[in-house]
């Protein structure tokens, strides 16, 4: 297995290049990778019409949307209701001529004071008047009968509300800093007009695209049905998915992911059987043990559903802990070999210092693109 430095790919492993891209930028998701990474991989894997791509950790559907633009059939799974909601809204077809008047009417509605009943952490994230506006528009949108239209409007409201909020994400925590924010109604209008414009101009090719609730450790796909996997699992030690989207969850009236659904995250794991991953976890913290155990299950599942000759590209990173770095990139590739894949290369795309809360450096974590073949 070759380990090669490819730092020029580092930016493609982030959301940054998607910021200016229609539809891809309908939700900002720090953990996403870029459309251009998917385009690059699809080209280098020689993928095209008739192929079937899987993203078992699809997040906000970057892989699926890019496949949609390339005319490649694809399927994605996730266990997080917010990610699934955003993916669904981004991947749908809309009748933009029907949407436009609904948007115009919505943003002109006369304000009526709503009953504001929200949890404290939501109330703290907004000024009183912005919160009243958010609740007012949420109420009006919930009255829209057509599900597609309602969810399109709700995604717009979620984005506009977060831009008008005092909250910001700091790792897994939500912090509040009061600042001047624009009026919600203006932001909502701008957001929805932009989304309508995107729908009008975004080009996709005819192909089958599916996004579903599903656990990457056990999909319902048939054996040997997938030509390629382009994905990025949760990074070790990152607990953002559990807490950081609570305000968005409230706005959308969605719950969080199931307690034992997220890779490597659950209570009471101390007593679990780790014998399958023994060689990878010696001396590691419990979080890492659970992570490697779950990832091994997910990798074996990938092996089952991949056709012979299928290619896998997986973006991941080493984990930062108080006492040092837990290597992930190379161990996951070793696991892939144990599952039956040929682990071809580890392309190191980024390096960063891991620090303690007191800012003491405890090591260097690598972010890498792992390439495997069945």
Chain positions contacting ligand SAM, by CB under 6 A: 29, 31-33, 56-57, 59-60, 62, 77-80, 83, 215-217, 232-234, 241, 261-263
Three state DSSP letters for 60-119:
CCHHHHHHHHHCCEEEEEECCHHHHHHHHHHHCCCCHHHHHHHHHHHHHCCCCCCCCCCC
Residue nearest to ligand SAM (CB): 59
> Quick check: 15 and 45 in contact, CB under 8 A?
no
Nearer to ligand SAM, 188 or 314 (CB): 314
Q: Running DSSP on this structure, what letter comes out for residue 255?
A: -
Nearer to ligand SAM, 141 or 335 (CB): 335
Nearer to ligand SAM, 287 or 362 (CB): 287
Nearer to ligand SAM, 141 or 216 (CB): 216
3-state helix, strand, coil split of the chain in percent (to 5) is 45, 20, 35
Nearer to ligand SAM, 215 or 227 (CB): 215
Q: What's the Cα-to-Cα distance from 67 to each of 43, 61, 152, 196, 229, rounded to whole Å? A: 11, 10, 21, 21, 11
Closest approach, Cβ 354 to ligand SAM, in A, equals 18
Closest approach, Cβ 264 to ligand SAM, in A, equals 8
Closest approach, Cβ 37 to ligand SAM, in A, equals 9
Nearer to ligand SAM, 32 or 288 (CB): 32
H-helix or E-strand containing 200?
Answer: helix 184-201
CA distance linking residue 218 with residue 328, whole number of Å: 22
183: helix, coil or strand?
A: coil
Closest approach, Cβ 87 to ligand SAM, in A, equals 8
Residue carrying structure tokens 């659950």: 266
CB half-sphere exposure, 285, CA atoms < 13 A:
14
Nearer to ligand SAM, 156 or 233 (CB): 233
């Amino acid at each position: 297995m070759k380990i090669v430095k490819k730092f020029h790919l580092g930016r493609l492993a982030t959301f940054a290049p998607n910021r200016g891209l229609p539809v891809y930028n309908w939700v900002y998701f720090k953990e996403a990778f870029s459309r251009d990474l998917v385009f690059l991989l699809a080209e280098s894997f020689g993928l095209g019409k008739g192929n079937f791509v899987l993203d078992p950790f699809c997040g906000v559907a970057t892989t699926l949307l890019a496949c949609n633009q390339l005319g490649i059939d694809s399927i994605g799974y996730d266990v997080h209701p917010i990610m699934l909601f955003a993916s669904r809204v981004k991947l749908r077809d809309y009748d933009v001529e029907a949407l436009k008047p609904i948007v115009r009417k919505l943003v002109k509605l006369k304000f009526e004071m709503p009953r504001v009943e929200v949890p404290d952490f939501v109330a703290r994230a907004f000024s009183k008047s912005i919160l009243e506006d958010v609740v007012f528009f949420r109420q009006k949108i919930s009255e829209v009968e057509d599900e597609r239209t309602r969810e399109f409007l709700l995604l717009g409201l979620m984005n506009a509300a977060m831009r008008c909020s005092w909250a910001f994400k700091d790792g897994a925590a939500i912090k509040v800093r009061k600042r001047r924010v624009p009026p919600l109604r203006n932001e909502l209008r701008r957001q929805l007009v932009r989304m309508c414009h995107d729908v009008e101009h975004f080009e996709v090719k005819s192909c089958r695209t599916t996004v579903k609730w599903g656990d990457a450790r056990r999909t319902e796909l048939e054996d040997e049905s997938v030509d390629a996997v382009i994905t990025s699992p949760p990074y070790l030690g990152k607990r953002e998915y559990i807490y950081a989207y609570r305000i968005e969850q409230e706005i959308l009236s969605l719950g969080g992911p199931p307690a034992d659904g997220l890779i490597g995250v659950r209570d009471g794991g101390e007593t679990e059987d780790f014998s399958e991953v023994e060689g990878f976890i010696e001396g590691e913290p419990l979080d890492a043990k659970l992570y490697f155990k779950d990832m091994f299950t997910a990798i074996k599942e990938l092996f089952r559903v991949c056709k012979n000759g299928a290619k896998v590209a997986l973006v991941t990173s080493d984990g930062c802990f108080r006492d040092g770095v837990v290597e992930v990139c190379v161990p996951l590739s070793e696991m892939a070999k144990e599952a039956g894949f040929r682990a071809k290369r580890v392309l190191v795309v980024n390096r960063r210092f891991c620090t303690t809360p007191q800012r003491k450096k405890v090591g260097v974590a690598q972010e890498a693109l792992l390439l495997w073949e069945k």
